[in-house]
Amino acid sequence: MSIPRRQAIKIGAYIMKQRLAGRKKFPITLELEPLFACNLACVGCGKIQHPADTLKQRMPVEQALAAVDECGAPVVCLAGGEPLMHPQVEEIVAGLVKRKKFIYLCTNALLLPKKIDKLRPSPYLSLAVHIDGLEERHDASVAKQGVFAQAVDAIRDAQRRGFRVTTNTTFFNTDTPQTVMEVLDYLNNDLKVDGMMLSPAYAYEKAPGQDKFMGVEETRKLFREAFAGGRRDRWRINHSPLYLDFLEGKVDFPCTAWGIPSYSLFGWQKPCYLMGDGYASSYQELLETTDWESYGRGRDARCDNCMAHCGYEPTALSATMASLRESIRAAGSSAAPALLGGRRKHATVTVPRQESPAAATDAPRKIDA
């Protein structure tokens, strides 16, 4: 099971508590960015395109932990930029572990050999290493040779030291079903990482590689072919089955970006981790002042080709828990996330037609769950 049982139980209990309290919008994972600076310039990244004075800033530890306390999400993705460039990153991690938050420290791993002695293995900490393909492909994605080999060495060293290691892979229009299968096979079978997150790249307006991003139909075709024949079940993928169905075009549902809010040096980002239409001073202000109905496909052109997990995995989780059938299905999956949150009384879930492989391209069937 790619998500530890302890984490699944805690997230499920948290979601149940939110529902019993009648909350319709609540965070599941916090994207915490204590800096924007990075030691790489990846072709698909829009997070490092800030003025030099902004890139020099580092969020104080107390401010970072206060945002975590305010938000209350059980999971924290410690991102950036490159979080290992923060001079007090180990203090932030220690504070999160003390709060029993499940942490994904998102890193390119280049600084891991220098920083790893300051970190301690914990059931609450996962090192989430950025791997965008096998050696040639990954090094091209990060625009620097040798990075893949360094990342692999750092992963193996962390595993020897007892750390839980996961990976995060972004796919572009230069990928093929074969390259998807090759990198997932390598991470799963050769490196034996504990779990793999994956996502189609989002078309950041300031990213240098504007010709690398996929449209919705390209994304669906890529994952439908890569996952064909039940292949996806052989990998320890760190996503709900419904999100993977979504990537294949078998299901469709709206974005629920409030489920994975982003807090950075500028505050609580509107509306999501990927788009910056302003900032709120608190998570509650983010919820109350963001016009959520103005975002999503057919509403904002910037959303039209987005299929990133930061917007759609929360929806997939809610849809899973709204359906007994999907809950049972996910509970039997090696990628089963938190499934203990009960059922929603009034939810619309879009499910695929299952008659044949070609049905994945048909209009999805809607049912009430």
CATH of the domain at 289: 3.20.20.70
Placement of tokens 């990927």 in the chain: 274
Q: What is the pLDDT of residue 350?
A: 39
Mean pLDDT across the chain: 86
Q: Specify the range with the lowest mean pLDDT, choosing from 131-140, 184-193, 283-292, 346-355.
A: 346-355
Q: How far apart are CA 104 and CA 260, in angstroms?
A: 13
Q: How far apart are CA 330 and CA 323, in angstroms?
A: 10
Q: How far apart are CA 190 and CA 162, in angstroms?
A: 17
Model confidence pLDDT, tens digit, residues 261-273:
999 999 999 999 8
Smallest Cα–Cα separation from 245: which of 340, 346, 349?
349
Percent of the chain with pLDDT over 90: 67
Q: How many domains are contained in the chain?
A: 1
Instruction: Please give the residue range of the domain that contains residue 217.
Output: 5-368
Taking 50 as the threshold, does the pLDDT of residue 349 lie above it? no
Q: What is the pLDDT of residue 46?
A: 67
Q: Provide the token pair at 67.
A: 């945002």
Longest distance between any two alpha carbons in the chain, whole Å: 56
How open is the CA angle 92-31-19, to the nearest 5 degrees? 110
pTM for this model (two decimals)? 0.88
Answer whether 218's CB lies under 8 Å from 173's CB. yes
The mean per-residue pLDDT over the stretch 251-277 comes to: 94
Taking 90 as the threshold, does the pLDDT of residue 63 lie above it? yes
Is the model more confident about 357 or about 290?
290
Q: How far apart are CA 356 and CA 6, in angstroms?
A: 37
Answer whether 104's CB lies under 8 Å from 76's CB. yes
**Share in percent of the chain as helix, strand, coil (round to 5):** 45, 15, 40
